[in-house]
Amino acid sequence: MRGRPHLYVSYESEQSLLPTWTQRVMVGLLVFLLVLIPLQGGIEIGDRLYQPVGFLGDNAWLKILSRVAIFGIGALGLNILTGLAGQVSLGHAFFMGIGAYTAAVLGGEVGKAHWGLGLPIWIWLPAAGLVAALVGMLVAPTAVKVRGLYLAIVTLGLVFIGEHLFRNLTSITGGSQSGRKFPSLDFRLWKEEEPFLAFTSDGPMWPVFNWLDWLFGPWINFPAEMSEEAKTYLALAALLVVVVVLAKNLQRTRIGRAFMALRDRDIAAEVMGVPDAKTKFEAFALSSFYAGIAGALLVAFIGRAIPEQFNLLLSVQFVVIVLIGGAGTVAGTLMGSVFVFVFPRLVQDFSGWLTETVESGGVIGSIADVFVSTGLDDPGLVSTLEGVSPGLNVSQLNVVIYGLLIIGFLIFEPLGLYGIWLRVRNYWKGWPFSY
Amino acid sequence: MSLLILAQAAADSGVDKFVGAITNGLSLGAIYALLALGFVIIFKATQVISFAHGAVAALGAYLVAYFATVLNFPGGALGGPAWLQWTVSAVFAVLATAVVGLVLERVAIRPMIGEPIFSIAMVTIGLDIVIRTITNDFISTDPRPLGDPFGTNIWEAGPISMAYSEVATIIVTIVLVLAIAWFFRSRIGVAMRATAFDQEAAMAQGISVGRIFAIAWAIGAGLAAVAGIFSSVFPRASQGVSAETAFFAFRAFPAIILGGLDSVPGAVVGGFVIGLAESFAGKYMTWSGFGVGFSGIVPYLVMMLVLLVRPYGLFGTEEIRRV
Amino acid sequence: MKVSRKLLVLLFVLGLIAAACGGDDTAETTTAAPSDDGGTTETTAAMDDGDTTETTAAPSDDGGEDMAPPVVDVGIDLDAGTIKIGMLSDLTGAFGPLVTPIVAGHEAYWASVNANGGINGLQVELVIRDTVYDVTNHVTLYEELKDQVVAIGHSTGSPHTLAINEDLQSDGILAIPLTWYSGWTDPDINANLLPHGTPYCIEAMNMIEYITDVAKETGIANPTLAIASFPGDYGLDSMAGAKLAAEALGIEIVHDGSGTIIPGQDQLPVADAITGSGADLVWITANATFFGEVYGGAIASGFEALWSGAGPNWSPALLDSPLADALQRDYYGTFYLSPWGSDSEGMQELMAIMGDAPPTDFYGEGFVEAKIMHEALLKAYELGDMTQAGVTAAAKSLEGIDFGGMAPSETYVGEPNDIVQRESMVFRPDAALRAAGGTGTLMIEAAYTSPTAASFVFEGACFEL
């Protein structure tokens, strides 16, 4: 059916994950790009080294992208609950905490001040999800009873109760503001010293990537070494891809469609044989499973976390990701995750640029100088100083811009980034006759 | 639960401790009630929980500190005794905060009319981030005392001993609650109730929904500012308004849910119940097995228990679900 | 038709990505380029080119002269004449109000150093990152800084600093912890850290002994003690010191509120517990906001005792509050630095460089941190090795850093128990000084060390994180 992507000749093809070739190619390219990002390959022309996606090979960016992957996994979980099943939850941080501390107990070092069994990642990672899912099931009956904003506040209460528990269970969590060490992401078969697959140390390039060298070797130089950050990123990105496929697939299953029916018209859904309680039960369990996994990954990624990590702000961050991205869509959720972590860095770079411009003078510099203070005795709305300053300092400015972006995005496009993407797509679909 | 604690408390401990728990609970509850009222009024008009409420409260308290201690305006221009000058300046600052609420509504909330409520809630989170950061920049390094006339004075009558500020909190709350109750019987108040019921129908009746939104946000912001003042004075926080003030409003969430999101009497009752529960838990539930800081989560536990029995709070309107 | 349109979109998107990358690429090469053809052969653009190896920290062996250009790797550009120092500061998080003036101290210090010719002609630039007191941010931002700065000027928070400590050691980067946690005295932990100031637990020992003496002078033969604190390293380290001191002095702890001051909660239960204990002495480890709440709650019920608290407990704003009279009666404050406006040489220098900035006692901390870093960089320059590892090695060989009498001098060579700081400045709140435009701190002891603190032997941290 060349050229008619919306003509489906069978139910099967309509329901397939990637119905058209364009989509398949694009997703393939995207995955390829995801793999290439950390490898820091460069093309040497003359004596200069060109790196096509070089800025992403930067370790700091890899840390940011690793965070995007971890929060993407967690946000896909919230998207199941909020986007698909229509249950608003501010309790995501609580379930992440449950997952994180399950991982800590199962995978933590043996014989230290805090409980730890020293088990390998293939036990503690799924277990983190499962325990969180179990706790999610305990909470689900409340959701059957309480609806809408009431549910949002009840789950918010969960976060505070969770914080209280985490603060007081010191042998598990290390206690408030102190925290404990968490297991690393390294893959061990059992409790050996040497990891089977090391994600947290620099080392030689994985043999898996030899084919890249074989394929592009003549044109692109791939380094023989791989940084810790690159490995961690690749491991997390691989997990994210798996989770995305699962989340996307969920929408086609009986359970996923039950969720959507419940979200759109719950009574109608019930009449049509979608049991209210059971479906919410499943939604909470699934969502919490994802949250647990994300929580375990997050603390393994940081290496050390304090119980206050799992606070209301973390929950809010997830709600922001899902709603800014566009509730109910997998692509939107991922875009939201990128927004929340990549934008602050871009804003930071922008204010760095602003500082330099003002300090170096010139036309733009002197216009900006009216509003920008460069010293304690120079008034202005914002300041290039970071410490005590007239007006907002650079960090405060970054936070304010971030807040304004959230407001602006939602006023401009209440459907979120996914809505903007749809608009752009539709514009180009009709181009040059778009209006 | 509260009743059980009350009975046990009365039985096994001194009268002073018991009375202390009540007075503390009432003054804490009054602040919660003020915050909850603000939430409820905004919710009734715009169907949204404003996450920016705490930030607005902190901004209001800061404005009071600024007007009363730095500018001494307009109180200073009027002259008269110090307490009167402060009161005039404080009232002026509260009005200024109400204007801020008006502006916020016009700039950020009005364009969202008709959008999904969670998108609007998200906008208020954005507002919270912006206002909180700017307010913290105003406050700067040290907390800002409000320069209030209550001082550290204590009013004593028999076993009752309350700080002047606590007495003032309770009196002001009662006055404001009565004023709000009267307001809902006035023309604009009725229009607001109509808007809450059905925006389109209200518009069809010639009610300017936009104006109702604006009024609701102005009143909400003003109430938040008053709550901000009383949460930043002796004995609760004598050092004044600080970065922590903005988070105080989250503690009123159980109160609004307990009373019912859309109920004005509910907000008041919820505020006092939560305040008393927290106060009694702080005084009596000190067994180490509860863990450190248990009184802080008692409001949430009370809220959850009530919701399991009454899913729309004590006074909330049950949503009529149609297919 | 549609497919080709989609391809157009695809091309468009790829074009955008390419443009974005291109822009960044040039930006990076401009920063890297000057260092590429730098004066020394050791200099490489290690931070950009993945395939080049890091410079080894070899001291320049051709250096017969004193001021030969030093070996450098990351963060120093000899041609442009700049040194970059990274800062992991909490500017908008829980400790933002405290850290902001500390950062201001750094900024003013380096501005004055730069105006006077910099470090042997090299101008110092601060690369400041806001961690929002979040461990994840801390770790991520460290990653960003380590490829562009020569050392970390300060790292806010103990768990946060511990989270990057292994990386600091494997990357050979120096950091100054902005916490006074006693665990930093451990040589296994502080290999790449420059602890400074009096640890929390020593501070507690000093002050508890001090107020015990005051109480005894006023006629209380056997004073009793109540303690309460924030949870976490700061509060519990201080509480551990308080308990050790109480044991040594033989005074009874009638209320142990370790970790009970929980931010964001009502503090009246804490105040009740303290007043209920009827203690003669109270030791609080919190910040000015929560100290104000606990203290206000206690005096509301008519409680009178001698109060004292850790350094960050104090804020001059407390003297503007209704608590001022009671505080002047009850409170003994402490810090390891002398207060703003005292007449030591170092403080006069600090006040000169701060200019019109509103007075607070915390500029001094920024001044001390910056001064330590300054000495480390000078020493590294002298040794001819200003690589990240070279600066670390130079810093660890520093002895007797002098702060002009503002703070006790710091040494990093020797046995941990010999070089740890044990002095505390003791002050009383003074509303008259505050009214005159100062911070209202009247210094009564410039350098007090209690016998308990002086004889205490560290075998690790007072409170294990």
pLDDT class of B272 with cuts at 50, 70, 90: very high
Tell me the two tokens of residue C370: 């910056």
The ipTM assigned to this model is 0.90
Nearest CA in chain C to A53: C21
The residue from A328, A361, A386 where one domain ends is A328
Q: Does A320 touch chain B (CB under 8 A)?
A: yes
Go through chain A and tell me how many residues it has.
Answer: 435
In a domain, B179, yes or no: yes
Pair (A226, A185) in one structural domain: yes
Residue A394, both tokens: 């650079």
Residue B315 lies in a domain: no
Task: Give CA separation, A17 vs A248, C3, C395, C421, in Å.
Answer: 7, 18, 59, 65
- One domain for residues C351 and C299: no
DSSP annotation string for A204-264: EPPGGGHHHHHHHTTT-BPPSEE-HHHHHHHHHHHHHHHHHHHHHHHTTSHHHHHHHHHHH
pLDDT on residue C229: 96
Q: What are the CA-CA distances from residue A324 to residues A93, A283, A321, C50 (Å)?
A: 18, 21, 5, 35
| H runs (alpha helix) in A108-147 | 121-145
Q: Is residue A408 part of a domain?
A: yes
* In-domain check, residue B30: yes
Radius of gyration for chain A, computed over Cα atoms and rounded to the nearest angstrom: 24
Cα end-to-end span (Å), chain B:
37
How many domains does chain C contain in total?
Answer: 2
**B123-147 residue pLDDT tens:** 999 999 999 999 999 998 889 999 9
Q: Measuring CA to CA, which residue among C227, C281, C255, C206 is closest to residue C452?
A: C206
For residue C2, the model assigns a pLDDT of 41
What whole-number distance in Å separates Cα of residue C363 and Cα of residue C429? Answer: 19
Cα separation values, A139 from A129, A261, C119, Å: 15, 21, 61
Q: Is C33 a domain residue?
A: no
| CB atoms inside a 10 Å sphere around CB A117 | 15
Determine the pLDDT at residue C36. Answer: 38
Tell me, yes or no, whether C51 lies in a domain: no
Structural domains in chain B (count): 1
CB proximity B237 to C under 8 Å: yes
Q: What is the rounded distance in angstroms from the CA atom of residue A339 to the CA atom of residue A402?
A: 10
Whether residue C173 is contained in a domain is answered as yes
Average pLDDT over residues C249-272: 92
* 3-state secondary structure (DSSP) of residue C429: strand
In this prediction, residues B103-112 reach a mean pLDDT of 92
* Preferred mutation among A151, A271, A407 to probe B, highest tally of B CBs within 10 A: A407
User: Best interface-test mutation with C: which of A27, A63, A317, A388 has the largest number of C CBs within 10 A?
Assistant: A388
Claim to verify: residue A314 and residue A394 sit in the same structural domain: no
Residue B212: which CATH number? Answer: 1.10.3470
In angstroms, rounded to a whole number, what is the distance separating the alpha carbons of residues C161 and C178? 9
Q: Please check whether residues C118 and C161 belong to one and the same domain.
A: yes
Q: Which chain B residues contact residue C97 at CB under 8 A?
A: 136, 139-142, 242-243
Considering the domain architecture, whether residues C371 and C433 belong to the same structural domain is answered as no
CB contact (8 A) between residue A303 and residue C8 = no
**What are the angstrom distances between the C-alpha of C35 and each of A403, C32, C122?**
38, 6, 14
Contact call for residues C255 and C271 (beta carbons, < 8 A): no
- What's the domain count of chain A? 2
**Do A362 and A298 belong to one domain?**
no
Interface of B with C in 271-290 (CB under 8 A): 278-279, 282-283, 286
What pLDDT, on the 0 to 100 scale, is given for residue A213?
73
- pLDDT tens string A90-131: 999 999 999 999 999 999 888 778 899 999 999 999 999 999
Residues of A in contact with B117 (CB under 8 A): 149
Tell me the C-alpha distance between A414 and A406, whole Å. 10
Shared domain for A92 and A185, answered yes or no, is yes
Cβ of C358 within 8 Å of Cβ of B279? The answer is no
Name residue C428's beta-bridge partners.
C442
- Are residues C237 and C314 both part of a single domain? yes
Do A212 and A322 belong together in one domain?
yes
Touching chains, A (3+ CB pairs < 8 A): B, C
Q: In whole angstroms, give the CA distance from residue B119 to residue B116.
A: 5
Residues C412 and C294 in one domain: no
Residue A91 shares a structural domain with residue A177: yes
A320 and A353: one domain? no
d(CA B71, CA B78): 13
Chain A residues whose beta carbon lies within 8 Å of the beta carbon of residue C231: 167, 175-178
Question: Domain check: are C155 and C279 in the same one?
Answer: no
Q: Do C346 and C435 belong together in one domain?
A: no
Domain residue limits at A157: 28-328
| Residue A8, domain member (yes or no) | no
Range of the domain at C190: 71-198+342-419
Residues C301-323: pLDDT tens digits?
A: 889 999 999 998 998 899 999 99
Residue A144, chain B, CB below 8 Å: the answer is no
Residues of A whose CB is below 8 A from B296? 160, 164
The residues, ordered by sequence, that sit 6+ positions from C4 with a Cβ below 8 Å of its Cβ are: none
Interchain CB distance below 8 Å, A386 and C136: no
- Domain at C146, CATH number: 3.40.50.2300
> What pLDDT is recorded for position A223?
72
Co-location of C286 and C304 in the same domain: yes
Is A337 within a domain? Answer: no
The DSSP output letter for C263 is: T
Indicate if A255 and A318 belong to the same structural domain: yes
Q: Indicate the residue of C159, C230, C259 with minimum beta-carbon distance to A179.
A: C159
> Which residue, A299, A328, A357, sits at the end of a domain?
A328
Please identify every stretch of chain A with a pLDDT value under 70, giving residue numbers as ranges: 1-6, 40-57, 217, 219-221, 434-435
Same domain? C375 vs C392: yes
Tokens of B10: 């009365």
Q: CA dihedral defined by A346, A352, A356, A357, rounded to 10 degrees? A: 40
* Mutation target vs A (from B110, B125, B134, B320; most A CBs, 10 A cutoff): B125
Query: Same structural domain for residues A55 and A182?
Result: yes
Averaged over C34-43, what is the pLDDT? 37
Three-class SS state of B132: helix
In a domain, C161, yes or no: yes
How far is residue A153 from each of residues A98, B51, B253, C316, measured CA to CA in Å? 19, 11, 7, 38
The whole-angstrom distance between A14's CA and the closest CA on chain C is: 17
Q: Does B318 map to a domain? A: no
Residues C131 and C245 in one domain: no
What domain range is B117 assigned to? Answer: 2-309
Report, in angstroms and rounded to the nearest whole number, the Rg of chain B calculated over CA atoms.
20
DSSP string, C151-198: EEEEEE-HHHHHHHHHHHHHHT--EEEES--GGGG-TTTGGGB---S-
Closest to A266 (Cα-Cα) out of A153, A147, A149 = A147
C322 contacts B152? CB cut-off 8 A? yes
Q: How far apart are CA C309 and CA C256, in angstroms?
A: 15
Does B302 reside within a domain? yes
